[in-house]
Amino acid sequence: MTTSHPDRAAARTKTIMQATLALAQEVGYAKLSIEAVAARAGVGKHTIYRRWPSKGLLFLDSLLSLNEPVFDYPDTGDIVADLRRQICTVVDLLANPPWGPLYQALVGEAQHDPAVAAGLNERFIRPQTDKTIVRLRAAQEQGQVSSDMDLDLVMATLSGPLYFRLLITQEPLTHNYVDRVLEALFAGMSPRL
């Protein structure tokens, strides 16, 4: 029995993305090249360029294929506990290799490549933001969050300190830090009596 063309193409795509991630971990994103990926994957450069028009988009697809994380919110009736659980899951992922350093490199590339920025936003950041806002809206409806809170601003306020540590100060992302962020945020978000 022979392997069909779609199966070969899927296997080749997977091989290319695995080679991309392996090389990025070895040499860093800045030194990653399509030529090196092609050599590692055993394909021609044209095979890669047919699928990805740039190194950044190849890297984006490769990183998101790495057990693409799904951060779903529980709804236990306690918005702080639910946010803590979800954010700590993200922190655990970003605080360790391979995701953390690779994600930092991807965000860095997004600053220079609008297609990578758009892809990252569309495929990772926006879906996670939407899930957070849905959970916050449910908390508003349950009276756990002030009904007049701007939930988009809440989302930005939640993620800002995490990205600041991850990308700017490179201080450790810890569960204790998440607790401090949530405590500060909810001091101003609680329903007014």
Q: Which residue type sits at 184? A: A
pLDDT at 6 over 80: no
In angstroms, rounded to a whole number, what is the distance separating the alpha carbons of residues 79 and 77?
A: 6
CATH superfamily of 79-189: Tetracycline Repressor, domain 2 (1.10.357.10)
- The reported pTM is 0.82
Q: Any idea which fold 5-65 has? A: Arc Repressor Mutant, subunit A (1.10.10)
Comma-separated ranges of CATH 1.10.10.60 domains in the chain:
5-65
Judged by average pLDDT, the poorest of 6-20, 87-101, 103-117, 143-157 is 87-101
CATH 1.10.357.10 residue ranges for the chain: 79-189
What one-letter code names the amino acid at 133?
Answer: I
Across the range 83-111, mean pLDDT stands at 89
| List of residues 6+ apart from 168 with CB closer than 8 A | none
CA distance 33 to 88: 33
Closest among 70, 74, 100 to 85, alpha carbons compared: 74
